[in-house]
Amino acid sequence: MNRRWISGLVAVMSLVWVTGVTAGDPTKVAVLDATMTFGSIEQPITEHERARLQRFATELRDALDRADDYELVDHGELQALTEKHVGGRRITSCGSCQARIGRDLGADRVLMPVADKMSELIMSLRVEIRETENGNPVGAKSVRIAGNTDESWRRGRIAIHREMGWPAPREASD
């Protein structure tokens, strides 16, 4: 019995050491603005896509702000920090710039929402999560969507929230 108790205590202490978060302390998170990647040919982002990307990030921020396990950090400096750390590069391939942005915002973790567009019919929505301390990936989730429409994006956003165990976007819970 003592051996199990000690093993359990060591496991919990290891988890606290790895995550840096103790029970009851919400994880401070920053959600970057959503971005889009393309298959083989770079394309301009349409106004509809720009609005969908904004909604993707906004719904993630709202859901995490409502979740008990997370504390959403102030994103007031996000634009300036993105320009500072990303420069002219792509945020999806700038090394650990996402982690530096999240760290400068005061977050423990940073989420990067991305829409991957292969064509008008083949797309996916994904969320990558990194530790801000070292840039290491913590998790990722991706869902495929068929078609570049408001409805397909809405379903994809709902699926991301469900898969991650986060509160549903407000429109889905109304």
C-alpha span between 62 and 36 (Å, rounded): 20
Mean pLDDT by 10 residues, the chain (174 residues): 42 38 79 92 89 97 93 94 88 88 97 94 95 94 95 95 89 52
Question: DSSP code of 15?
Answer: H
In a domain, 127, yes or no: yes
In a domain, 22, yes or no: no
- Give residue 25's pLDDT: 87
In a domain, 91, yes or no: yes
In a domain, 4, yes or no: no
Q: 3-state SS of 32-60?
A: CCCEEEECCCCCCCCHHHHHHHHHHHHHH
CATH for 61: 3.40.50.10610
- The angle that helices 47-66 and 150-164 make with each other, rounded to 10 degrees, is 30
In a domain, 18, yes or no: no
Q: Which domain holds residue 54?
A: 27-168
In a domain, 126, yes or no: yes
In a domain, 151, yes or no: yes
- Give residue 167's pLDDT: 87
Contact 111, 72 (CB under 8 A): no
Q: Please state the pTM of the whole predicted model.
A: 0.81
Counting the structural domains of the chain, the total is: 1
φ and ψ at residue 171, rounded to 5 degrees = -60, -30
* 132's tokens: 């801000």
C-alpha span between 113 and 129 (Å, rounded): 9
In a domain, 15, yes or no: no
- Give residue 23's pLDDT: 58
Q: Classify each residue of 42-68 as buried b or exposed e, where b means 16 or more C-beta atoms within 10 Å of its C-beta.
A: eeeeeeebeebbebbbbbbbbbbeebe
- Give residue 140's pLDDT: 94
Residue in 90, 60, 15, 10 with CA at minimum distance from that of residue 165: 60
Contact 32, 78 (CB under 8 A): yes
